[in-house]
Each structure stands twice: as structure tokens, then as C-alpha cells.
Structure 1
Amino acid sequence: MDRLTLALFFSSSLIILLSSSAVLAVPSPSPLSSGGDSCDHIVSLLSPCLNYLRKKEDKPSQSCCDGAMKLNEQAKTKKDRRAACQCLKDALTPISDVDPSRIPLIPEQCRISATMPLIDRNIDCSRIP
């Protein structure tokens, strides 16, 4: 290779490398506050809790606790917590036999240091801190 070809090769390789690094450095949006897919994600995390919320189980199952733990780990910002609240509110509203007073008991019974508000059809998720 002549010098010009070699210089062009290294220049283009460097540009590709820098472009790739820039893409990797851009922060990705939070999985909880980025739209409809995030709500599906939240529902899938907490769907194992449904039998507990319907009083078909005396305590949350291990898979319910695992999902609640993952949600707690992922809901880091106010925006994430509000998105999760709205998603759960929308998902639980049409289910008539859910006891919403059991929702705040899940962290305690799963030994998770988090607070989940009482989520029912009347909650104003924009007030979640």
C-alpha cells in the first residue's frame, strides 16, 4: 500500500472506531419510561403477583418478589416511578377482584426496601415522588 492509501485506511478505521464509541456512550433511555414496551415489561415483572392481589395466596410468591425487586431496581427516577404507577393503574383497573390494599404490602413481605403506594383507579400518578 502506498502512503496515501495507508493514511486513508487508518483515517477511515479511526472514524469508524470513534463513531462506534460515540454510539456506545449515548445513554439509553430508561426501560420504564420509554413507552408501551416498558408497560409490557412492568406487567410481565409483576404478573406473578396477581394471585396474591386476588387473595388466592396468603403471601406473594417468590416470582412475585423477584419481579418486584427488579422493578424496584429499575425505577430509579421520578419519571420511571410515575410511568410504573400509570402502567400498573391501567393494568389493574379492569380487574375487578384485585385488592389494592395488598399492593403496598408486597415490599414488606418480600423484604424489599421500597415503598409502593396504594394503586387504585383513583391514584394520581403525577404525584408519585
Structure 2
Amino acid sequence: MKGSMIAVIAILAIISSVVQPGQAVSCGQVDAALIPCVSYLTGRGGDSPSPGCCAAVKTVKGMAQSTPDKRALCSCLKAAANNYADLKDAAAQSLPAKCSVQMDVPISRSVDCDKIV
């Protein structure tokens, strides 16, 4: 009985070391990463995002690989967009393309995050 219990514990220890829990996307991380984009998104930074903004977009894209993380990222982006009354929707929607980043998650106030896969 003792030997089988030790074997079960050893197997569980091996499994838990192999299966890494996903890192949750936090809105604080997303907000902090996108600070360089605020001037562009609100129309005060010209017609093109800054290199720092584009680096931020790439960082944000890398935060979400799984569907739950993409949905969390979507919710964070939607909340961030709603925090800026002067945010230009066209600028937000074109930001990934202007930075040459293929985003799986749109930057929009009206997106349904539950439909993100």
C-alpha cells in the first residue's frame, strides 16, 4: 500500500511539472504595455503609431496564445478603449495593420469577446 501511494505521488509530481498552467492576461499589463499608443489612438500623435507603440502591440499580441487568454485580452482592450472618450475607433482598428502585426483580437469598443477563438 505504501509503495503504490508513493508511486501515485511520484506520477502526479511528474505530471504537474510537465503541465504548465497558462499565464493569465491581466488588464494592468495590457494597459501598461499600450501607454506608448495613447497619443496615436487619441489623435494627438499624428497619422502613424510610434515605433514604441508598435513594439507594444507586438508585446500585447504575445500575451495571449490560448482562447481563454485571447478572450481576456479582448476584454482588457475593450475596457481600455472605453476608458478614453477621445479614442478614435478608426485608429484603434487600424493600429495592428499599421504596425504590421496580425492580431487575433480586435481593438474595439463594440467587439463581442465571447466570440473570440
Fold-level similarity (TM above 0.5): yes
- Tell me the C-alpha RMSD between the 2 structures: 2.3
Asked if the contact 1:42/1:87 (under 8 Å) is kept, the reply is yes
Gaps of 5+ in 2: 1-12
> Which of the numbers 29, 35, 44 marks the counterpart of 2:22?
29
- 2:63 corresponds to: 74
Asked if the contact 1:43/1:91 (under 8 Å) is kept, the reply is yes
Q: Which runs of 4+ in 1 moved over 4 A?
A: 20-24
Q: 1:46-91: per-residue Cα shift (whole Å, max 9, x none)? A: 1211111101122111111111101112211111111111112112
Aligned-pair CA distance for 1:21: 7.3
Structure 1 residues 49 and 66: alpha-carbon distance in aligned structure 2, compared to 1, 3 A threshold: same
Q: 1:107 & 1:79 partners in 2: Cα distance?
A: 21
Aligned-pair CA distance for 1:118: 4.7
Asked if the contact 2:74/2:107 (under 8 Å) is kept, the reply is no
- In the comparison of the two structures, how many residue pairs are matched? 106
Q: 1:24-45: per-residue Cα shift (whole Å, max 9, x none)? A: 544133231xxxxx11001111
Relative to the length of structure 2, the TM-score reads 0.75
Structure 1 residues 26 and 68: alpha-carbon distance in aligned structure 2, compared to 1, 3 A threshold: same
- 2:51 corresponds to: 62
The one-letter code sitting in structure 1 at the alignment partner of 2:28 is D
Gaps of 5+ in 1: 1-19, 33-37
**Structure whose CA Rg is larger:** 1
